[in-house]
Amino acid sequence: MKLACVPVCNYFTADSRVKRTCLFLMKHGFEVHVLAIGRTDLPEHEVIDGIHVHRYRSGAKQPIRRGVNLTALRAFDAYVRGCVQWVRKHRPSVVHYNDWNTLFLGPLSRVPHRSIYDMHELFQDLDYLNFPKAINRVIAGVDLQGLRRAEAVICVSEPIAAELRALTEKPVYVVRNVPEPRFSVGPGRADITARLRDGRRHLVYLGALQKEKGALDMLQVLSRLPAEYALDCFSGVTPKNAFFREVAESMGLTNRVQVWETLPLDELYASIRHGFAGLSFFVPSSRIYEYALPNKIFEYFLAGLPVVVSEARAQAELVAETGLGLVVELRDPERAAEKILSWAPPTVSRELVERFGLTWEQEEAALERVYRDLGIIPAS
């Protein structure tokens, strides 16, 4: 059987985009191996839905902190050594690279293979992750080499694709981060649906609560809306989002803001479909967020929710194209609240979602085109 290797610099516990890529490769006859970061509470080797997962860790017992620090560097070193060893031993015919921090595998392993570079963000943006500018320049340089060395490049939005085509002569494809078509069915979780049907208009947010993703902007807009509006965030209650809960309390919004644990997708969609609208308030302060097209928007649509998004370019263009939401400007929360108050949300039906091609079937066809164009899988 043909071997495909999919390196990803995370734990591979919740990376749905990478998992969809793996299932696509399996569908086309590949035995798929994911090379991931290790953690003490995760198995070094396991099989998830037919995907072989290998995790490499440094042996350190403390959690890995994001950013440039000794623990992270040691973990990355162990990951690099483990990945290179695996590739040299098994010699996969295809490597589907995920993001700049897996690109080391080609030059270090020196094993001939077909290569696709799948980038989930715009790493040429020197504001990436708020690292020091010197670090960001190194990331941009590694990314640029990957763009030119791979046979094809995949990104998540047309604005990113336009930038990349000016940097490489290799073909650039867009495969949006659209989840599997799990449309909302069933009653949902009783306590959540009871809250979302309590007579108020519940704005729903999915994903990590971060300032760059508009966490505090959501509170600013909510504070200017009448008390009939509430905000429900399915983000998990973690130390990382304590700042959000503290600010909500300081603004007197505790009774209108609820942070829930994350849920399985089927249960999530069935629960949040009782909300008023989904929020995606990316702060358009850099190209990373201007050009991002987050999967939460597509998840709202699958749950039958219209969306309220910030003016960040890629998501604003999608909303304008489909008419399935409202665009507000974060720099004027008063005006944003006025627009929401006067807004008549559109009905988001399964038929509309499919008509606009907002499901994984369309994106899987785009991914298939990459592999067919390169001759890795036969033409249909």
Q: How far is CA 312 from CA 44, 109, 130, 177, 186, in A?
A: 39, 39, 18, 16, 33
3-state secondary structure of 70: helix
Distance CA 96, CA 93 (A): 10
Q: Do 163 and 14 share a domain, yes or no?
A: yes
Whether the per-residue pLDDT at 59 is higher than 80: the answer is: no
DSSP β-bridge partners for residue 7:
35
Q: Specify whether the CB–CB gap between 293 and 207 falls below 8 A.
A: no
Give a yes or no: residue 340 inside a domain: yes
In a domain, 147, yes or no: yes
With respect to residue 208, please indicate whether it lies within any of the assigned structural domains.
Answer: yes
Domain ranges, residue 9: 2-178+360-373
Q: Quick one: 220 and 295 in the same domain?
A: yes
Average pLDDT, the chain: 93
Residues 212 and 327 in one domain: yes
Q: Alpha-carbon dihedral of residues 190, 259, 311, 271, nearest 10 degrees?
A: -10
Asked if the structure places residue 379 within a domain, the reply is: no
Domain identity same for 153 and 200: no
Q: How many CA atoms lie within 13 A of 359 on its CB side?
A: 15
CA distance 181 to 339: 30
* One domain, residues 41 and 62: yes
Side-chain-side CA neighbours of residue 63 (13 Å): 3
- pLDDT tens sequence across 113-128: 999 999 988 999 877 6
* Together in a domain, 208 and 99: no
Q: Evaluate whether residue 183 is within a structural domain.
A: no
Tell me how far apart the alpha carbons of residues 96 and 18 are, in angstroms, rounded to a whole number.
9
Kindly state whether residues 162 and 240 are assigned to the same domain: no
The answer to whether 116 touches 97, Cβ cutoff 8 Å, is yes
Name the band, by pLDDT with cuts 50, 70 and 90, for residue 284: confident
380 lies in some domain: no
Quote the CA–CA distance of 343 and 365 in Å, as a whole number: 35
Considering the domain architecture, whether residues 219 and 152 belong to the same structural domain is answered as: no
pLDDT, greater one: 15 or 319: 319
Residue 376 has pLDDT above 80, yes or no: yes
**DSSP structure string for 163-189:** HHHTT-SS-EEE---PPP-----S---
**Per the structure, how many domains does the chain have?**
2
Q: What is the CATH number of the domain that holds 296?
A: 3.40.50.2000
Do 13 and 133 reside in the same domain of the chain?
Answer: yes
Q: Tell me: do 234 and 339 sit in the same domain.
A: yes
Cross-strand bridge partners of residue 205: 233
Domain membership flag for residue 331: yes
* Residue 233 φ/ψ, nearest 5 degrees: -110, 120
pLDDT score, position 74: 87
For residues 193 and 200, give the distance between their C-alpha atoms in angstroms, rounded to a whole number.
12
pLDDT tens by residue, 66-108: 656 677 788 899 999 999 999 999 999 999 999 999 999 999 9
pLDDT at 61 over 80: no
For 91, the token pair is 């010699």
Identify which of 372, 370, 379, 326 has the alpha carbon closest to the alpha carbon of residue 118: 370
d(CA 364, CA 24): 7
In a domain, 30, yes or no: yes
The reply to whether 126 and 196 lie within a common domain is no
Residues 201 and 312 in one domain: yes
C-alpha 166/C-alpha 169 separation (Å) is 8
